[in-house]
Amino acid sequence: MARGQNLTGLAPRKAALGLLTGVLSEARLLPELIGDGAVAHLPPEDRARAQRLALETLRHLDRADRLLKPHLQKNPPLAVRNALRLGTVELCQGAAAHGVVNAMVDLVASGKRTRNYKGLVNAVLRKVADGGPESWAASSVSKMPNWLRQPMVAAWSRKTVEEIEAVHAASVPLDLTAKGDPEALAERVGGTLLPTGSVRLAHVPQVSALPGYEAGEWWVQDAAASLPVRLLGDVTGKRAIDLCAAPGGKTMQLAAAGAQVTAIDDNAARMARVTENLARTGLAAETVVSDAFDVNGHYDIVLLDAPCSATGTIRRHPDLPYAKDGSDFGALMEQQTQMIDHALGLLAPGGRLMFCTCSLLPDEGEVQIEEALARHKGLKVAPVNAPGIEDAWRTEEGGVRLRPDIWAARGGVDGFYMACLVKA
């Protein structure tokens, strides 16, 4: 069986179908499934392929469903539908028809509850192989599920949401933050230096094989996520606390910029990653496993990358709209409000609170700051500046808003909101 699986790619495809089932049937996120060992049995190459197949299928799920619809009189069971979706995406992205069709038929035939659908899968995927790639090229990109798309349209307009969806459908570049000179790093790894200081690689390689990885010269961090620390300006010698630190990108930025950093996270496993990243980069920070609300003291810099819907990260995490339904967003927003109030209490005289979320929902960004200004007398949004910040990104209340459609020609960025607060 191992030989057959290697020849036809059954092993990674079977694992990819398992990942799709976990997201679409069990409402679990891919990192959770992978962390629980969903692909641990595979060799590294097959593991990477399984994850890529699952990600690409989720990225193009709506598009695949539209292409399949004319060939299905009624919806088959989810396991069969996922095999058809996976096969359709592979076929329309140029995979060899013979291998894809045979693999999907074999996988469906191997299941007790799905074996009766092997004829359907064979017939439908052969039709897709015949005309699918041309239909795919002419079809529009996948739309977000309605539960998320509707509030997004209300916030940003239908045209903007369509532009965001186009970025979601494209390949995602890799952004690096340099510990030292970003221009030198860009030259060394063959990347492009973005106006905001991040180094971007158009094609994602094996990260650990890139020059400077072992030496800790850089870390992976989306260009948008690197901006909050950049907006703080000179932090040399400042006492700084990163309240939701994992996986540690902003902690490392603060430490590299000369701040005395305390990193807080309530998840021991995630904090272990922060410690590992600090060790690799040779940067120093105190790491503490704790609930942010249990933290006391006074700091010159408080960085609060608050728990949020993460809707700004869909270009990199296409599983999110299918594993979530928005039912927990209200609780997250209430938690953000409480965390802002607590974080303000940690500020030393003259200190600055950088609040940020990787969300595209104004209720988790602009509205949070507007309400905080109304709750706290003397609270102000401090003017911020950094290389590459465009005037169009600035918001009425004084924050900075990024969306995936910004820099679309460059590969986009994560959706992010940030604002720097000071107390009179």
pLDDT for the residue 3: 36
> Which are the contacts of 178, defined by CB distance < 8 A and separation ≥ 6?
184, 185, 197, 199, 217, 218
**pLDDT tens sequence across 172-205:** 999 999 999 999 999 999 999 999 999 999 988 7
pLDDT for the residue 206: 84
Catalytic-residue membership of 358: yes
**pLDDT tens sequence across 237-280:** 999 999 999 999 999 999 999 999 999 999 999 999 999 999 99
Hunting for tokens 């004319």 — which residue is that? 70
Give me the mean pLDDT over the 210-226 stretch.
Answer: 97
pLDDT for the residue 2: 39
The size of the chain, in residues, is: 424
Cα–Cα distance, 22 to 24 (Å, whole number): 6
Give me the mean pLDDT over the 41-51 stretch.
Answer: 94
pLDDT for the residue 143: 97
pLDDT for the residue 204: 80
| In the predicted structure, residue 7 carries a pLDDT above the cut 80 | no
Q: What is the mean pLDDT of the chain?
A: 95
At 218, phi and psi to the nearest 5? -165, 170
pLDDT for the residue 205: 76
pLDDT for the residue 417: 98
Give me the mean pLDDT over the 156-161 stretch.
Answer: 98
- At residue 140 the predicted structure's pLDDT band, cuts being 50, 70 and 90, is very high
| In the predicted structure, residue 4 carries a pLDDT above the cut 80 | no
| In the predicted structure, residue 336 carries a pLDDT above the cut 80 | yes
Give me the mean pLDDT over the 361-372 stretch.
Answer: 98
Give me the mean pLDDT over the 302-319 stretch.
Answer: 97
The residue among 413, 418, 415 whose CA lies nearest residue 196 is 413
Give me the mean pLDDT over the 311-328 stretch.
Answer: 96
| In the predicted structure, residue 69 carries a pLDDT above the cut 50 | yes
Domains in the chain, ordered, with CATH? 2-138 (1.10.940.10), 223-423 (3.40.50.150)
Whether the CB-CB separation of 84 and 76 falls below 8 Å is answered with yes
- At residue 341 the predicted structure's pLDDT band, cuts being 50, 70 and 90, is very high
- At residue 350 the predicted structure's pLDDT band, cuts being 50, 70 and 90, is very high
Quote the distance between the C-alpha of residue 293 and its chain's center: 26
| In the predicted structure, residue 6 carries a pLDDT above the cut 70 | no
Partner residues linked to 225 by β-bridges: none
pLDDT for the residue 250: 98
C-alpha count within 13 angstroms, C-beta hemisphere, residue 143: 17
Quote the distance between the C-alpha of residue 280 and its chain's center: 23
- At residue 167 the predicted structure's pLDDT band, cuts being 50, 70 and 90, is very high
| In the predicted structure, residue 232 carries a pLDDT above the cut 90 | yes
Neighbouring C-beta atoms of residue 358, cutoff 10 Å: 26
Degrees, nearest 5: CA angle 45-49-52: 140
Structure-token pair, residue 91: 């076929």
Residue % of the chain over a pLDDT of 70: 98
pLDDT for the residue 335: 98
pTM of the model: 0.93
pLDDT for the residue 8: 57
User: Which of these is catalytic: 244, 308, 356, 358?
Assistant: 358
| In the predicted structure, residue 343 carries a pLDDT above the cut 90 | yes
Give me the mean pLDDT over the 83-101 stretch.
Answer: 96
